[in-house]
């Protein structure tokens, strides 16, 4: 029995993909968007970013306006 692996599984990261990942994270893109653009899973992008020393955002955090604070103009 021959087992055929999905071509996307355990694909090595290229220097171009690393540069694209770094640029997208620096631009503030969210992890799901980056993963779709690079044709990778969110976990793969997150793990690679961590190994490159980058911090990612998976969601947009809402802006909180306190009850006792005046809105910023």
The string of pLDDT tens digits covering residues 44-72 is: 999 999 999 998 877 766 666 666 555 55
Q: Tens digit of pLDDT for each residue in 7-45? A: 667 889 999 999 999 999 999 999 999 999 999 999 999
Q: Given this model, what pLDDT does residue 59 score?
A: 72
Distance between CA atoms of residues 4 and 40, nearest Å: 19
Distance between CA atoms of residues 2 and 28, nearest Å: 43
Distance between CA atoms of residues 12 and 51, nearest Å: 13
Coil vs helix vs strand at 6 = coil
Average pLDDT in the chain: 82
Q: Given this model, what pLDDT does residue 39 score?
A: 95
């Amino acid at each position: 029995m021959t087992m055929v692996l999905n071509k996307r599984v355990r694909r090595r990261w290229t220097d171009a993909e690393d540069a694209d990942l770094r640029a997208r994270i620096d631009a503030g893109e969210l992890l799901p968007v980056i993963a779709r653009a690079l044709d990778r899973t969110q976990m793969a992008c997150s793990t690679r970013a961590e190994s490159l020393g980058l911090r990612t955002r998976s969601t947009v955090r809402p802006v909180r306006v306190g009850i006792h604070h005046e809105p910023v103009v």
